[in-house]
């Protein structure tokens, strides 16, 4: 039996990737580094600190910044990002997601959130869907970013389910790798994802009939 469905946040529930990008682009620009959307794709599912490290590396100036300077840059980015979250409403939920969460609740299938974003609880509240999640893994207690399976295992732990009996949904390669690494069944949303158990082009294809057919097929 399917014991739980565990969701990524950014790119699956709502599109915060663009807001992360705008905030990082501004901070990077201030220190003379130019990043584009293609580079930003490599930051999906990657923690704030590790994202900054990759940006500095990309700009060839990793050695030039001390830890206190990095902390200041990361918190400046977060300030810009958090300000931009005020534009989120129920309309910002990606197509089909609200319906799927309601259907899973009706079927009494627990739902989990596996986001490495420290802002995840705020975002779910802004979208008005916080109460549709049975358990949200605490990003503040995670020491390894995706593709490490830690955040997904924390979600399974909190739900009291075994990873092998769960479906995980992700839009980033690091996330698909994290799901696969803990033995969960992976569904990938979007183009260019490798090793997903099922690949869909958009969240509106994430219906209960689709999930249950995938689950049956995986058994
Ligand atoms: C998200 C984003 C990442 C972001 C990370 C940390 O991960 O995809 O780009 O760097 O959260 O976010 P914050 O700075 O808000 O703590 P996920 O796991 O939701 O895809
Ligand atoms: Mg994502």
Pairing of strands 4-7, 185-189: unpaired
Q: Is 33 annotated as a binding residue?
A: no
Q: Is 117 annotated as a binding residue?
A: yes
pLDDT one-digit tens code per residue, 128-144: 999 999 999 999 999 99
Alpha carbon nearest to ligand 1 atom 20, residue:
45
Find the 20 Cα to ligand 1 centroid distance in Å.
8
Q: What is the C-alpha to C-alpha distance for residues 5 and 101, in angstroms, rounded to an integer?
A: 9
pTM score of the predicted model: 0.94
Indicate whether 34 pLDDT > 90: yes
- Catalytic residue ranges: 8, 10
Q: What's the mean per-residue pLDDT of the chain? A: 96
Torsion from C-alpha of 129, 100, 152, 113, nearest 10 degrees: 0
Mean per-residue pLDDT, 98-113: 98
Q: How confident is the model at residue 145 (pLDDT cuts 50, 70, 90)?
A: confident
Amino acid 54: pLDDT: 96
Mean per-residue pLDDT, 48-70: 96
Find the 1 Cα to ligand 1 centroid distance in Å.
31
Element (H, E) at 3: none
Tokens of 215: 């689950």
Which atom of ligand 1 sits closest to the CA of residue 9? 19
pLDDT one-digit tens code per residue, 168-179: 999 999 999 999
Which residues have CB under 6 Å of ligand 1?
8-10, 20, 43-48, 51, 78, 115-119
In Å, how far are 53, 63, 74, 76, 141 from 10, measured between CA atoms?
Answer: 20, 30, 18, 20, 19
Find the 155 Cα to ligand 2 centroid distance in Å.
15
């Amino acid at each position: 039996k399917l014991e739980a469905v565990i969701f990524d946040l950014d790119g699956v529930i709502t599109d915060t990737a663009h807001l992360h990008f705008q905030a990082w682009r501004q901070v990077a620009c201030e220190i003379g580094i130019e990043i584009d959307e293609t580079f930003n794709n490599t930051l999906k599912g990657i923690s704030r600190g590790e994202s900054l490290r990759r940006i500095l590396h990309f700009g060839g100036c990793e050695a030039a910044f001390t830890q206190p300077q990095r902390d200041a840059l990361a918190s400046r980015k977060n300030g810009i990002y958090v300000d931009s979250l005020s534009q989120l409403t129920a309309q910002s939920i990606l197509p089909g997601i609200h319906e799927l969460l309601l259907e899973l609740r009706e079927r009494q299938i627990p739902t989990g959130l596996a986001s490495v974003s420290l802002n995840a609880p705020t975002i779910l509240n802004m979208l008005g869907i916080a109460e549709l999640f049975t358990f949200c893994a605490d990003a503040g207690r995670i020491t390894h970013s995706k593709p490490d399976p830690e955040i997904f295992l924390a979600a399974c732990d909190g739900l009291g389910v075994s990873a092998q009996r769960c479906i995980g949904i992700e839009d980033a390669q690091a996330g698909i790798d994290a799901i696969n690494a803990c033995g969960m069944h992976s569904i990938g949303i979007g183009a260019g994802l490798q090793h997903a158990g099922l690949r869909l082009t958009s969240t509106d294809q994430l219906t209960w009939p689709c999930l249950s057919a995938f689950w049956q097929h995986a058994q």
